[in-house]
């Protein structure tokens, strides 16, 4: 079965710095870290002490509220340090690899046999190895509740935000892993497993387009046609009370490797892109999970101050490369030049070098041109004035103006009625981008979703 | 040019510490910020999850509205000079007309900007927020709605009322319920009615009353005459009112510069075309409906002639008075208008409807568009409320369809 959708709303940023399709490999030169803090808002109890010897796949920490869920070590070695973050939360466990191949062996499955396996057994492997963390649940985009039965499962194979990795590059050579993981997912739901791909991939034949036992859907159109919320909205919208699970292709690959080999995967493929990278460095890298981000970046950055962003430009998190490593959940990093340059009379000068989605700025009339973007706000914060300009950038059946007002006023019931549960902060990133008053839509939406999650509905 | 730019930048950096926290003039920071960001774009960088931003900012948006108003201002200057010489009975050349017009109009505009600006800055300093560029628009819109014969002290009082009561008491730009420029005009209209309407060029030469066509029309009795002919008698044909070389408020008399401004607003994507089109449809519809009103009937057992003002052709409603100016520049103020797209249609259409109703049924107020817009400003949140409720209903119906389809 398959379905086609054409999304007409949205915007593809004409931005320079897109990645090539080359794949290189970087290995760790020092310690490897595990970051329980990457699972935001969750509390963990540490199970090891400094100096303990651990094997690959050994349990390092346990979730306090879901005792079956663990965080495990990607390498064999010695626990070198345990760092605590705010309020003594477990931030980072540093492991010095000993170069040995000691590994925990989890139960393994075959591509043919997995459909006959019991869902509980597969789930137990995912929970014990910490791999469960890649399966997320909507609404609220948190780690899936193993006790819940999702009405359907969505796999995102076409992220459109700049610069999310191309799922088809990630999938190269991972046919068995992907097929195994997809079949495993069908065990967890009575509904369909949707694999959502870009219509540009229709002619391609690779592990994603040829996947079996799942429903493959094609989406055409500008960003956010590749956002998971868009896919859910068009295929099986969330009604308050519903639960759906979501994954990305990189998550499928990790699940597939674990179930196929019985060992915790210790490598992952990421994208490095953005104008802040040297041109030859923009592309894909295979890295060791948990390695220092500074090692990954090496000398691939261009001169000048660069902001390193985990995730994408529209909904990412600025990080300090010296202070973090490759998270289990990472798919890529963007380097964006810091831009604090002041332009003389720039508020009305007819700029040709700064992109705008608004016709009032002359650069908008230049077609087929790629623009440089920096971190500059390009204006000052003001009260919101223009109305109705945000709706063309949100693909869901949501009126943005009333919703954001309800969020700012803390009216959670109104926000739910207007459809906030269908969405995530990333779905409003383009509204933030185009807002002439420089309003940040992400924050009020995220805060309202948190509030609803706490209060229940 | 480069050296000039550098010089300004250095001067700014030199005086900046005095305005920053701990400086001598710390309290005046909003004033410095306004000047500083006028000269140079701010160096601020993005925070939060979205790391890149569009090149547009509110300064550019607001200033584009000012640019859209400039044709009306220029026409207003010319027309004011023309009216002055016309009613003084003096023949004058183009240059003299323009010069005289400048002498009449510029003091009004400057008074509005200076007095309103002082209020704006005062509130920005007290509230410790940036000076909002919306004032650039209010400060020019307001004088364009005034007759050129207005006294400057009245301009000052009016803009003070508009900025303070129309906007700042609600919390400043973005929070106001009424359009501040219209609030200012409404205040003058009710407080100084005789200076605002009717025979504004009373220093007349023989035979000219200086009345605006709308003022004239409202004074027509029930004598059963043909409105078109009666207006033409007094020198007002459709095309003369379209061209606008006539008495009236500074910015509204001619249709041509207003259409030019509307074009700029629509092409730039700033003014809502939904409101403009909705308003025109509402006006035409109601005006045509009015044409079917009976012109005579029984009253206390006697056949009497009613007012013929209802019989005015609908196209005349567009060119008489300030309807077009109001619907293009005032009704589209996004803060006081309806915020939803469906709401904008309804809001615009009702402005058209109410304008005709006030014009025709209430001879006390010859111009209805100001009252219509203010009235609909107040109603806009209610319109939005029902549009949103309707949307939620549709949404839920669609979601339910989905779950039925899946069984």
Which pLDDT does position A405 carry in this prediction?
93
Rounded Cα gap, residues B109 and B75, in angstroms: 14
Query: Best interface-test mutation with B: which of A240, A305, A376, A434 has the largest number of B CBs within 10 A?
Result: A376
pLDDT digits (tens, 9 = 90+) for B2-55: 677 788 878 878 888 888 877 788 778 888 888 888 888 888 889 989 999 999
Nearest to B355 by CA among B323, B387, B328, B392: B323
Rounded Cα gap, residues B147 and B366, in angstroms: 14
Rounded Cα gap, residues B274 and B305, in angstroms: 39
Rounded Cα gap, residues A100 and A266, in angstroms: 13
Residue in A347, A355, A359 nearest the CB of B41: A347
Q: Residue A352 corresponds to which tokens in the numbers above? A: 């040709």
**% pLDDT > 90, chain B:** 43
Q: Residue A292 corresponds to which tokens in the numbers above? A: 């220092």
Q: Residue A194 corresponds to which tokens in the numbers above? A: 């949707």
Asked if the model's pLDDT at residue B337 lies above 90, the reply is: yes
Q: Which helix (H) or strand (E) holds B110?
A: helix B94-127
Which pLDDT does position B403 carry in this prediction?
67
Rounded Cα gap, residues A240 and A316, in angstroms: 27
Query: Best interface-test mutation with A: which of B51, B170, B264, B335 has the largest number of A CBs within 10 A?
Result: B51
Sheet architecture: strand order including A267-273: A23-25, A283-288, A267-273, A332-337, A306-310, A317-319
Rounded Cα gap, residues B77 and B90, in angstroms: 17
For chain A, the C-alpha Rg in angstroms (whole number) is: 22
In contact, A383 and A437? CB cutoff 8 Å: yes
Residue A40 exposure: Cα atoms within 13 Å on the Cβ side? 8
Query: Best interface-test mutation with B: which of A386, A421, A442 has the largest number of B CBs within 10 A?
Result: A386
Which pLDDT does position B201 carry in this prediction?
47
Phi, psi of A172 (to 5 degrees): -55, 125
Sequence-separated (6 or more) residues with CB below 8 Å from residue B283 = B314, B317, B318, B323, B327, B352, B353, B355, B356
Q: Beta-strand (E) ranges in B172-307?
A: 296-299, 302-305
Q: Residue A147 corresponds to which tokens in the numbers above? A: 């006790």
Which pLDDT does position A264 carry in this prediction?
93
Four-CA torsion A341, A346, A352, A356, nearest 10 degrees: 90
Nearest to B40 by CA among A379, A437, A435: A379
Phi, psi of B227 (to 5 degrees): -60, -45
In contact, A274 and A4? CB cutoff 8 Å: no
Q: Residue B86 corresponds to which tokens in the numbers above? A: 């016309």
**% pLDDT > 70, chain A:** 100
pLDDT digits (tens, 9 = 90+) for B146-200: 988 889 999 999 999 999 999 989 888 888 889 999 999 999 988 887 777 654 4
Query: Best interface-test mutation with A: which of B47, B57, B405 has the largest number of A CBs within 10 A?
Result: B57
Q: How many helices and strands, by DSSP H and E, does chain B display?
A: 17, 2
Which pLDDT does position A211 carry in this prediction?
87
Nearest to B317 by CA among B279, B354, B348, B356: B356
Are A382 and B395 an interchain contact pair (Cβ–Cβ within 8 Å)?
Answer: no
Domain ranges of chain B: 2-39, 58-390
Nearest to B35 by CA among A347, A357, A210: A347
Residue count (chain B): 407
Which pLDDT does position B207 carry in this prediction?
36
Are A380 and B395 an interchain contact pair (Cβ–Cβ within 8 Å)?
Answer: no
Contacts of B50 in chain A (CB under 8 A): 313-315, 429, 432-433, 440, 442
Asked if the model's pLDDT at residue A307 lies above 90, the reply is: yes
pLDDT digits (tens, 9 = 90+) for A181-198: 999 999 999 999 999 999
Distance, in angstroms, between A46 CA and closest chain B CA? 30
In contact, B60 and A436? CB cutoff 8 Å: yes
What one-character DSSP code corresponds to residue B45? B
Q: Residue B373 corresponds to which tokens in the numbers above? A: 């817009």
- Burial (0-12, 13-18, 19+ Cβ within 10 Å), A116: exposed
In contact, B52 and A355? CB cutoff 8 Å: no
Asked if the model's pLDDT at residue B347 lies above 80, the reply is: yes
Q: Residue A217 corresponds to which tokens in the numbers above? A: 């859907």
Asked if the model's pLDDT at residue A168 lies above 70, the reply is: yes
Contacts of B275 in chain A (CB under 8 A): none
**For range B338-356, the mean pLDDT:** 94
Are A378 and B45 an interchain contact pair (Cβ–Cβ within 8 Å)?
Answer: no
Give ipTM to 2 decimals: 0.90
Contacts of A359 in chain B (CB under 8 A): 267-269
| Residue-averaged pLDDT of chain B | 84
pLDDT digits (tens, 9 = 90+) for A232-286: 999 989 887 889 999 999 999 999 999 999 999 999 999 999 999 999 999 999 9
Q: Beta-strand (E) ranges in B177-274?
A: none
Highest mean pLDDT among B85-89, B305-309, B388-392: B388-392
pLDDT digits (tens, 9 = 90+) for B359-403: 887 766 767 889 999 999 999 999 999 999 999 999 989 888 776
Phi, psi of B383 (to 5 degrees): -60, -50
Rounded Cα gap, residues B172 and B49, in angstroms: 28
Phi, psi of A247 (to 5 degrees): -140, 165
pLDDT digits (tens, 9 = 90+) for A368-394: 788 999 899 888 888 888 888 999 999
Which pLDDT does position B200 carry in this prediction?
46
pLDDT digits (tens, 9 = 90+) for B100-151: 999 999 999 999 999 999 999 899 888 888 788 888 899 999 999 998 888 9
Phi, psi of A307 (to 5 degrees): -95, 125
Are B51 and A307 an interchain contact pair (Cβ–Cβ within 8 Å)?
Answer: yes
Asked if the model's pLDDT at residue B222 lies above 70, the reply is: no
Q: Would you place residue B242 in the very low, low, confident or very high pLDDT band (cuts 50, 70, 90)?
A: confident
pLDDT digits (tens, 9 = 90+) for A66-100: 888 899 999 999 999 999 988 888 999 999 998 88
What one-character DSSP code corresponds to residue B205? P
Are B54 and A358 an interchain contact pair (Cβ–Cβ within 8 Å)?
Answer: yes
Distance, in angstroms, between B116 CA and closest chain A CA? 19
CB pairs under 8 A between A and B: 214
Residue B162 Cα distances to A182, A417, B8, B178, angstroms: 64, 37, 34, 9
pLDDT digits (tens, 9 = 90+) for A331-362: 999 999 998 888 887 777 777 788 888 888 88
What one-character DSSP code corresponds to residue B299? E
Are A361 and B50 an interchain contact pair (Cβ–Cβ within 8 Å)?
Answer: no
Q: Which domains does chain A have, with CATH numbers?
A: 2-7+106-261 (3.40.50), 31-104 (2.40.50.100), 377-455 (no CATH)
Asked if the model's pLDDT at residue A291 lies above 70, the reply is: yes
Rounded Cα gap, residues B90 and B104, in angstroms: 16
Q: What is the pTM of this model?
A: 0.90
Which pLDDT does position B205 carry in this prediction?
35
| Residue-averaged pLDDT of chain A | 91
Which contacts (CB < 8 Å, 24+ apart) does range A186-189 have? A186/A115, A186/A213, A186/A214, A187/A114, A187/A115, A187/A117, A187/A118, A187/A119, A187/A122, A188/A119, A188/A123, A188/A149, A188/A150, A188/A153, A188/A245, A189/A149, A189/A150, A189/A151, A189/A152, A189/A153, A189/A245
Place of tokens 């705010």: A86
Place of tokens 């359009």: B179
Which pLDDT does position A230 carry in this prediction?
94
Residue B84: strand, helix, or coil? helix
């Amino acid at each position: 079965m398959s379905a086609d959708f054409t999304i007409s709303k949205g915007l593809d940023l004409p931005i320079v710095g897109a990645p090539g399709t080359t794949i290189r490999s970087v290995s760790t030169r020092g310690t490897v870290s595990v970051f329980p803090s990457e699972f935001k808002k969750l509390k963990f109890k540490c199970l090891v002490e400094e100096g303990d010897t651990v094997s690959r796949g050994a349990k390092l920490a346990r979730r306090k509220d879901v005792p079956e869920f663990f965080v495990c070590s990607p390498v064999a070695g010695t626990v070198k340090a345990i760092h605590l973050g705010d309020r003594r939360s477990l931030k980072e466990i540093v492991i010095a690899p000993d170069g040995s191949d000691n590994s925990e062996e989890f139960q393994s499955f075959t591509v043919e046999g997995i459909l006959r396996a019991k869902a509980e057994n597969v789930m137990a492997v995912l929970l014990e190895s910490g791999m469960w963390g890649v399966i997320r649940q909507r609404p609220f985009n948190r780690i899936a509740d193993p006790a819940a039965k999702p009405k359907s499962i969505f796999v995102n194979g076409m992220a459109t935000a700049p610069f999310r990795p191309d799922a088809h590059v990630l999938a190269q050579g991972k046919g068995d892993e992907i097929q195994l993981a997809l079949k495993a997912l069908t065990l967890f739901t009575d509904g369909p497993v949707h694999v959502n791909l870009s219509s540009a991939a229709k002619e391609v034949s690779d592990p994603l387009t040829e996947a079996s036992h799942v429903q493959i859907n094609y989406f055409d159109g500008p960003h956010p046609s590749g956002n998971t919320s868009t896919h859910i909205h068009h295929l099986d919208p969330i009604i308050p009370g519903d639960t759906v699970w979501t994954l990305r292709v990189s998550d499928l690959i990790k699940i597939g490797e674990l179930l196929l080999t019985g060992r915790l995967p210790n490598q992952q493929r990421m994208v490095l892109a953005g104008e802040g990278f040297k041109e030859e460095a923009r592309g894909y890298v295979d890295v060791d999970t948990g390695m220092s981000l500074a090692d990954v970046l090496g000398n691939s950055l261009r001169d000048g101050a660069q902001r390193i962003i985990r995730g994408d430009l529209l909904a990412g998190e600025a990080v300090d490369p010296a202070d973090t490593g490759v998270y289990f959940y990472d798919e890529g990093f963007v380097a964006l030049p810091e831009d604090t340059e002041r332009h003389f009379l720039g508020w009305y000068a007819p700029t040709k070098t700064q992109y705008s989605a608004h016709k009032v700025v002359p650069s908008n009339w230049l077609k087929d041109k790629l623009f440089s973007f920096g971190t500059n706000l390009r204006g000052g914060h003001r009260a919101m004035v223009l109305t109705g300009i945000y709706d063309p950038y949100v693909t869901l059946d949501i009126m943005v103006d009333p919703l954001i007002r309800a969020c700012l006023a803390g009216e959670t019931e109104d926000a739910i009625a207007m459809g906030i549960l269908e969405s995530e902060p990333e779905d409003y990133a383009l509204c933030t981008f185009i807002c002439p008053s420089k309003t940040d839509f992400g924050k009020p939406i995220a805060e309202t979703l948190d509030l609803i999650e706490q209060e229940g509905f | 040019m480069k050296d000039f730019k550098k010089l300004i930048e250095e001067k700014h950096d030199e005086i900046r510490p005095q305005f920053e926290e701990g400086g001598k003039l710390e309290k005046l920071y909003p004033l410095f910020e306004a000047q500083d960001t006028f000269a140079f774009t701010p160096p601020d960088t993005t925070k939060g999850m979205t790391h890149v931003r569009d090149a547009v900012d509110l300064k550019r948006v607001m200033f584009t509205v000012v640019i859209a108003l400039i044709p009306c201002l220029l026409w207003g200057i010319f027309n004011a000079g023309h009216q002055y010489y016309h009613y003084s009975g003096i023949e004058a050349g183009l240059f003299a007309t323009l010069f005289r017009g400048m002498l009449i109009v510029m003091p009004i505009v400057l008074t509005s900007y200076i007095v309103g600006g002082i209020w704006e800055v005062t509130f920005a300093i007290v509230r410790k927020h940036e000076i909002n560029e919306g004032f650039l628009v209010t400060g020019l819109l307001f004088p364009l709605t005034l007759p050129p014969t207005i006294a400057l002290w009245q301009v000052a009082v009016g803009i003070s009322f508009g900025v303070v009561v129309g906007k700042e008491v609600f919390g400043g730009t973005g929070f106001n319920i009424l359009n501040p420029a219209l609030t200012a005009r409404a205040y003058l209209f009710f407080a100084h009615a005789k200076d605002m309407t009717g025979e504004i060029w009373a220093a007349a030469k023989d035979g000219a009353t200086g009345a605006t066509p709308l003022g004239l029309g409202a004074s027509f009795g029930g004598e059963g005459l043909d409105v078109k002919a009666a207006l033409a008698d007094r020198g007002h044909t459709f095309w003369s009112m379209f061209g606008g070389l006539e008495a009236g408020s500074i910015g509204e008399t001619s249709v041509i510069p207003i259409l030019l401004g509307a074009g700029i607003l629509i092409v730039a994507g700033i003014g809502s075309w939904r409101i403009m089109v909705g308003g025109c449809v509402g006006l035409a519809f109601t005006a045509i409906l009015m044409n079917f009103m009976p012109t005579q009937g029984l009253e206390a057992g006697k056949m009497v002639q009613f007012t013929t003002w209802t019989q005015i052709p609908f196209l005349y409603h567009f060119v008489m008075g300030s309807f077009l100016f109001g619907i293009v520049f005032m009704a589209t103020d996004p803060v006081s208008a309806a915020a939803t797209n469906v709401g904008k249609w309804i809001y615009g259409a009702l402005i058209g409807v109410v304008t005709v109703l006030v014009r025709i049924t209430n001879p006390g107020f010859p111009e209805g568009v100001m009252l219509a817009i203010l009235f609909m400003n107040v109603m806009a949140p209610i319109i939005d409320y029902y549009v949103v409720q309707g949307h939620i209903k549709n949404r839920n119906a669609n979601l339910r369809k989905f779950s039925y389809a899946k069984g």
